[in-house]
A and B are shown apart, each in its own frame.
Chain A
Amino acid sequence: QSALTQPASVSGSPGQSITISCTGTSSDVGGYNFVSWYQHHPGKAPKLIIFDVNNRPSGVSDRFSGSRSGDTASLTISGLQAEDEADYYCSSYTSTSTYYVFGIGTKVTVL
């Protein structure tokens, strides 16, 4: 069982906005500004799309945004496009000896 809780799936129509939640604890998501989000197309390399809760790496579309409220982080994809169909994972640094925890991933389907 993953340490961070994500919904198994989220879907939306092209052009819509969707939000994926990622719930942890005060030892990880709620306690540190080191929350990341990854986009993963099966068979390809995971791609960092959000780091430090709400920062986008250079080259990542501004349709992706991150936020956090308490122990829950969120990834919002606006203007949903067919190419956004992928698995999305959240991750956080944790004060436990595990160092890093992940969610089990959310499958985004573009209808």
Chain B
Amino acid sequence: EVQVVESGGGLVQPGRSLRLSCTASGFTFGDFAMSWFRQAPGKGLEWLAFIRTEVYGETTEYAASVKGRFTISRDDSKSIVYLQMNSLRAEDAAVYYCARGSTMIRGVITTFDIWGQGAVVTVSS
């Protein structure tokens, strides 16, 4: 079965760090770009970051809201994509999703076809 599963969520104090993992299975992980999204309570989905494949140099893109604080990375040998989140704020509290980029045109993902169930991140003292 093709799937991705997030882990690493939890309660963290403001200003601290947390690393989320997304483990993929059922497909050749290294062939696909991967991305992270989040959904805060009562709000819509928000794209955070994506990482291209090794063919594209594993280059990354970030939303302005997290650039400089969050880092996306991947380990193709383990089929895992990570989201390192630093200097967390109350407004970062959300359900975090990872998703597979099924189609890439000129280095940009155009479709996200496989999503995980999400990992809950709570930021509170």
A102 pairs with B45, CB closer than 8 A: yes
Contact in complex: B43, A2 (CB < 8 Å): yes
Interface size class, chain A: 20 to 34
Contact (A36, B112) CB under 8 Å given A46-B97, A97-B64: yes
Q: Kindly report which residue of chain B lies nearest to residue A32, judged by CB atoms.
A: B110
Q: In angstroms, how far is the closest chain A Cβ from the Cβ of B68? A: 14
Give the residues in chain B near A93, CB-CB below 8 Å: 108, 110
B40-75 interface bits toward A, Cβ cutoff 8 Å, 1 = contact, 0 = none: 000111110010000000000101100000000000
Residues 7-62 of B contacting A (Cβ, < 8 Å): 43-47, 50, 61
- Which one of B45, B64, B103, B113 contacts A91 once the chains associate, using CB atoms below 8 Å? B45
Q: Check B45 against A52 for contact (C-beta < 8 Å).
A: no
Contact of B47 among A52, A98, A105 (CB under 8 A): A98
Residues of A near B102 (CB, < 8 A) are 51
Q: Which B residues are within 8 Å of any A CB, using their own CB?
A: 43-47, 50, 61, 63-64, 97, 99, 102-103, 108, 110-118
